[in-house]
Structure formats: structure tokens, C-alpha cells
Amino acid sequence: MAEKKKNLSEFIPFKFSSAQNMEIGIVVSEWNDRITDSLLNGAVQALMEHGVRNEKIRIHHVPGSFELPLGAEWLLKQTPVDAVICIGCIIQGETRHFDFIAQAVADGIMHVGLKYSKPVIFSVLTCNSMEQAEDRAGGKHGNKGVEGAVSCLKMLALEESL
């Protein structure tokens, strides 16, 4: 169980021999853009800190989190990316809309990764409030965009090691 005020994005940097040759796609939801922009910035910074060259990071925006799986599929189908990080933020409202969207996005992202046999990373916040989202987009719980980037590189390192 995580401590309440722990920065969950702290990680130990690792060596990844071919990060500079990797091409990483990032699909970002425009909905809740104050949050998703912060997640995007964290992801890009983490990728670059691990050796991914800025010109090898392909960033594309989609209207909302629901469109992330299709955006990821198009990137994998039409570009030479090695992996895709999907960044979004879904905040609970008064209806069940949240449940349907969150489940569809999670399932869609998983299916795209399996279809292409490439890492497609779920960096989608599913929060009860804007405050919770802010805490996870650079606030007291770190930046989930950083965590998504590190997960992406670790999956590529795993593939490289097999």
C-alpha cells in the first residue's frame, strides 16, 4: 500500500542500451488538458533523461481519452514507432459515464498492444476529483507521465533482453 504523501514517480534510473535509437509515440487527450499537458511534459522529460532523442518522440493529440486506443493503433500502423504511451485524464462525474469510458479506454489500449505486440502504455488518470488528478500530474503523488515513460522503456528493455 502506498503512503499518502509519497511521490510514486521516484525511480532508479536504469541503463537501456538502445534508447537513443528508439522512436516513441505519445498520444495525448485534449480533454482536461491542464492535467494531460503536465503528464506529457513528465513523459517527454523522462524519455529524454533515458537517452531517447527529442526528434524521435512523436506527439499526437486526440479529442478525449476514448480516442486514445485508435490514435495508438494509427501510430503503430502508419509510423515506425517502437512503443506508444497513451496519456489521458478521466474524472468521475455524477453519472456512470466515467465507468464506461475508463473501462473502454483500458480495454482498447490493452488490445492495441497485444494486436501489434508492442508496448502500449496506459498513462490515463482515473480520478474522483480534479485535486486527485493534480496530485498525480506533478503534485504530491508524482507524475504518472514519468511512470508511463519509464514503464515503456522497461518493456522495450525486456524485449531487447529476450
Hey, what's the cell of 88? 489521458
- Cα atoms in the Cβ-side hemisphere of radius 13 Å centred on 154: 12
Contact 24, 83 (CB under 8 A): yes
Contacts of 98 by beta carbon, 8 Å cutoff, 6+ apart: 90, 91, 92, 126
Q: Active-site residue among 60, 61, 97, 141?
A: 97
Decide if 61 is catalytic.
no
> Cβ atoms within 10 A of the Cβ of 151, count?
19
The residues that bridge with 29 in the sheet, in sequence order, are: 62
* Closest listed residue to residue 143, CA positions, set 116, 123, 122, 119: 123
* Closest listed residue to residue 13, CA positions, set 45, 57, 35, 53: 45
Name the residues annotated as catalytic: 97
